[in-house]
Amino acid sequence: MQRVHADLDNVRSSQLSRFIGENESLHLDEIESTLEHERIEHNEPGYTLKDYALYDAMRSRPAMSFLGPRQATTPGDRGVNK
C-alpha cells in the first residue's frame, strides 16, 4: 500500500493516473472538458465564460505588467465563441 500526502497529491492532481490508471484519468479529463463546454454554451450560473475568465485571471501569478502573463485560457482554447 502506498501513502498519499493530501497537500501534494490531491484528487485532481497530475498524479491521479497513478491511482486510477492512465485510461480512466484521460476519460475523466474528457468528461470534464465536455461538461465545461456545455456549461459555457448554456450560460449556466457560475459556469459562464465570464466566470471561467475570472477564475483563470485570479489563479495566475502576479506579473510585473498590468496586462499579466497572458496564461489564461482563451474562449478559442475552450472551443466556444466569444
Cα(82)–Cα(77) distance, integer angstroms: 11
pLDDT for 76 beyond 70: yes
Cα(32)–Cα(44) distance, integer angstroms: 15
56-76 burial: b if 16+ Cβ within 10 Å, else e: eeeeeeeeeeeeeeeebeeee
Q: Please tell me whether the overall predicted TM-score, pTM, comes out greater than 0.85 for this model.
A: no
Q: Which helix (H) or strand (E) holds 22?
A: helix 22-41
pLDDT for 18 beyond 70: yes
Cell of 5: 500526502
Domain ranges of the chain: 20-74
Residue 38 is predicted with a pLDDT of 92
